[in-house]
Amino acid sequence: MFYIRPMSQFNPHKLPDDRRRGRAALTNVSGRYEVEAREAFDDGWDINEDLPPLRTEVRLEQARTIITRNTSPDIGFDRSINPYRGCEHGCIYCFARPTHAYLGMSPGLDFETKLIARPNAPELLEKELSAKRYSPRTIAIGTNTDPYQPIEKEHKIMRGILEVLRDFKHPVAIVTKGALIERDADILGEMGQMGLAKVGISVTTLDRKLARLMEPRVPAPARRLAAIRRLTDAGCPVRIMASPMIPALTDHELEAILQAGRDAGGVSASWIMLRLPLEVSPLFREWLAEHFPDRAVRVMGHIREMHGGRDYSAEWGKRMRGQGAYANIIARRFRVAVARLGLETEMPSLRTDLFARPPRPGDQLSLF
């Protein structure tokens, strides 16, 4: 049975462990735009039964456009592509979780289990790049949900997108935690050698057990480091991303992560502090209390110190790193480490001068 009550009176209950096996979120609270919430309860009439674990569901969406524009002053790109909505990787700290509320779904377990794929993305991309007024600049992929999450193995949307970008000689910057990116090392290596591609691979911790708790369906840290080596050997430059740094939980690993990334072939590095916008904050605090109750107060104390006493501040230029003494210490440690390891903090700009619309069947060929 379900009990329906106003969101203001709703107190989410943790789902049983066997139902959320392989998931990070403990609850499935409704999104912030919902007026009411549904809560399951036992009314004594139904026969007791064991409900199955939550399974991944994928819905196909025929998108109308695929290149998203942004004007955020603290983000180094103005256009991006999101092949998927929601992410099966299930990282508890993922700042993209609140986007599921726009779809009428929960940023909690729905975000990890109810996914949307856009199979017509390559076709739309080809159309948008072919427009006469289109002017090329680097397209970022993976800035919201991961393009190399497990369902990409079946849907191959990212592979199709890269084939289009290669044909147009269009620059692309990819961020991922997924080792599946190795499948596309042939394209990325070719584009990387032409100055048309670069990749950032995120490693949050080198502790396999902690990674499994925080990022239940992400490849193990060692596997991600192997992906760095595979891509760099193919000719695509890779940035090691120590992101996010979680105070009193993973921040002590900063130097070790950068060292491991450099040893795997990474040529540059970056870091971002833990961000807890909107529904991410209560989800993360629930997770923290469940798995690290002895550190919960300390972790959140540092987070609030860096955001003016709040769990999160969205102020431009400060939301990625926070501010104050603790944030300054992490920033200084990062600067010292990259200097010692010989890592760059910025990767070279990708080329746009090679961009060309490939000829289509029936096009008039040039005489010159």
Residues 9-42: pLDDT tens digits?
445 678 889 999 999 999 998 888 887 776 666 6
| pLDDT tops 60 at residue 4 | no
Q: To which H or E segment does residue 139 belong?
A: strand 139-141
CA torsion angle for 327, 331, 337, 339 (degrees, to 10)? -170
| Burial (Cβ within 10 Å: 0-12, 13-18, ≥19) of residue 229 | middle
Please give the pLDDT value at position 10: 45
247-282, pLDDT tens digit by residue? 999 999 999 999 999 999 999 999 999 999 999 999
| Res 29: pLDDT | 84
Output the average pLDDT for the chain: 93
Least confident of 41-50, 86-95, 108-117, 350-359: 41-50
* Long-range CB pairs of 257-262, under 8 A, 24+ apart, other chains included: 257/203, 257/205, 257/206, 258/334, 258/337, 258/338, 258/341, 258/343, 259/337, 259/341, 260/203, 260/206, 260/221, 260/225, 261/201, 261/203, 261/225, 261/228, 261/343, 262/341, 262/342, 262/343
Cβ-proximal residues to 89 (8 Å cutoff; 6+ apart), any chain: 112, 146, 149, 150, 177, 178, 215, 216, 217, 218
> For the chain, which domains are there?
54-341 (3.80.30.30)
Q: What is the pLDDT of residues 68-103, one digit of tens each?
A: 999 888 888 999 999 999 999 999 999 999 999 999
For residue 244, say if its preceding peptide bond is cis, omega within 30 degrees of 0: yes
pLDDT of residue 2: 46
Q: Please, which pLDDT band fits residue 43 given cuts at 50, 70 and 90?
A: low
In the predicted model, is pLDDT for residue 7 greater than 90? no
pLDDT for position 3: 46
Q: Say how far apart CA 119 and CA 104 lie, in whole Å.
A: 21
pLDDT tier for residue 368 given thresholds of 50, 70 and 90 = low
- Structure token pair of residue 281: 């904050």
Question: Residues 236, 185: contact at Cβ < 8 Å?
Answer: yes
User: What pLDDT, on a 0 to 100 scale, did the predictor assign at position 135?
Assistant: 97
* pLDDT value of position 72: 86
| Chain segment 174-229, per-residue pLDDT in tens | 999 999 999 999 999 999 999 999 999 999 999 999 999 999 999 999 999 999 99
Please tell me the predicted confidence (pLDDT) of residue 160: 98
pLDDT surpasses 50 at 8: no
